[in-house]
Amino acid sequence: MKDAAYITAMAANLIWLGMAFRYFGFQHFAAAKVLVPKSERTSPLFPTVAAGTRFLGGMNGALALFALLLLVFKLRGSDLFAAWPERVVLLAIFAAAHFSQFAFNLPVLKAGGRQGDSYWPVTSGPMLFIFVVDAVMTLLNLVVAAVIFAA
């Protein structure tokens, strides 16, 4: 049970963070279009926002690589991070990473999402999907950590 739960969590982290790496790192202009309203896309700041999203892609890429390595270590029976308390810590770190993406969208959601030319549409489209999946990923990592910790 612990093994399957851990493998599932690491695979889910790898997939979600890998998708974020691709989207924010390589489709940064598409990501910026979600963040910046149409009326402001001719501003010289638009390419700056687009370039800035690549930093988010890079951080997600590093976390995706970390999840991949942890998954490979587990599947190959490596002693690296093999102790269950270590794995609980790793899952908590992944939960915190996903929670940070969820939590910093909460004020935007509370404000009603995009308001004129400010913020982004957390209540619809890709940002709603990201918001919901980051919440699910937070819970997944915490639940698996709790299952492992309790076992």
Tokens of 36: 């910046």
Q: Are 24 and 60 in contact (CB under 8 A)?
A: yes
Residue range 126-133: average pLDDT? 93
Q: Is the dihedral of CA 36, 40, 42, 48 positive or negative?
A: negative
Distance between CA atoms of residues 117 and 55, nearest Å: 23
Tokens of 100: 């940070």
CB atoms within 10 A of CB 50: 20
Residues in the chain: 151
Instruction: Look at residues 126, 118, 122 and name the one whose alpha carbon lies nearest to residue 106.
Output: 122
Give strand pairing partners of 115.
118
* pLDDT, tens digit (0-9, with 9 covering 90-100), for 85-126: 999 999 999 999 999 999 999 998 888 877 776 778 888 889
DSSP letter (8 states) at residue 115: B
The chain-wide mean pLDDT, for the chain, equals 94
Give strand pairing partners of 118.
115
> Model pTM greater than 0.85?
yes
* pLDDT, tens digit (0-9, with 9 covering 90-100), for 17-51: 999 999 999 999 999 999 999 999 999 999 999 99
